[in-house]
Structure 1
Amino acid sequence: MQTLNWNDLQVFLAIAQTGQLSKAGQALRVDPTTMGRRLRRLEARLGATLFEQTRLGQVLTEAGEALLARVEPMAQAAAQIEDQGGPAAGLSGLLRISVSEGFGTWFLASRIAEFAAAHPALTIDLVASSGFLSPSKREADIAVTLSRPKAGPVIARKLSDYALTLYATPGYLDRVGPPRDPADLAHGHCLVGYVPDLLYAPELRYLDEVHPGLAPQLRLSSINAQHRLLASGGGIGVLPCFIGDADPALVAPLPQCRIVRSFWLVTHQDTHQLARIRAGRDWIDALVHRHRDLLLPR
Structure 2
Amino acid sequence: MNWDDLRIIAAVRDEGTYAGASARLRIDETTVGRRLARIERSLGLRLFEAADGVRRPTRQCEMVLAHVQAMSAHADEIGRIRESLPGPVGRLRIASTNAVAEEVLAPRANEFLRVNPGLTLQFLTSSDNVKFSRWEADLAIRLRKPDKGDFAISKLAEVRLYFFEPINVGAGGPVTCAYPDELEGIPEMQFLRARRIRARCVTDNVRVIRTLIQSYQAAGVLPEYGSAELLADRRLRATLLPKRRDVWLLVQNHLKRDAATRATIDWLRGCFHDVSQGA
Answer yes or no: same fold by TM over 0.5. Answer: yes
Q: Which residue of 108, 111, 123 corresponds with 1:111?
A: 108
SS at match of 1:130: coil
CA contact (8 A) 2:169 2:217 kept: no
- Work out which of the residue numbers 164, 167, 176 in structure 1 matches 2:170: 176
Aligned to 1:144: 141
Q: What CA deviation, in whole Å up to 9, does each residue of 1:68-121 have, x standing for no partner?
A: xxxxxxxxxxxxxx8xx5796544442111122322221111111111112234
For this pair of structures, how many residues does the alignment match? 203
TM-score (norm 2): 0.61
2:204 is matched with which residue? 221
Q: CA RMSD in A?
A: 3.2
| 1:245 corresponds to which of 228, 243, 252 | 228
Which residue of the partner structure matches residue 179 of structure 2? 194
Instruction: Tell me which residue corresponds to 1:12.
Output: none
Q: d(CA) in 2 for partners of 1:113 and 1:215?
A: 41
Q: Does the 8 Å CA contact 2:130/2:137 hold for their aligned counterparts? A: yes
Residue 284 (structure 1) aligned with residue 268 (structure 2): yes
Query: Taking structure 1 as the reference length, what is the TM-score of the superposition?
Result: 0.58
How many angstroms apart in 2 are the aligned matches of 1:96 and 1:128? 10
CA distance in 1, matches of 2:236, 2:84: 46
- Distance, in Å, in 2 between the alignment partners of 1:148 and 1:131 is 14
Output the amino acid matched with 1:160: A
Structure 1 114/135 Cα, relative in aligned 2: closer, same or farther at 3 Å?
A: farther
**Structure 1 residue runs without a partner (length 5+):** 7-44, 46-81, 178-186
Q: Which sections of structure 2, spanning at least 5 residues, go unmatched?
A: 5-41, 43-78
- Change in Cα spacing, 1:216 to 1:265, as seen in structure 2 (3 Å) is same
Confirm or deny that 1:132 pairs with 2:117: no
Counterpart position of 2:254: 270
* Larger Rg over CA atoms: 2
Query: Could you tell me which of 151, 156, 163 is aligned with 1:154?
Result: 151
**Distance change >3 Å, CA 194–CA 154, structure 1 → 2:** same
Q: Secondary structure at the match of 1:133?
A: coil
When residues 118 and 256 of structure 1 are mapped into structure 2, their CA distance, relative to the original with a 3 A threshold, is closer
Q: Give the match's secondary structure for 1:148.
A: coil
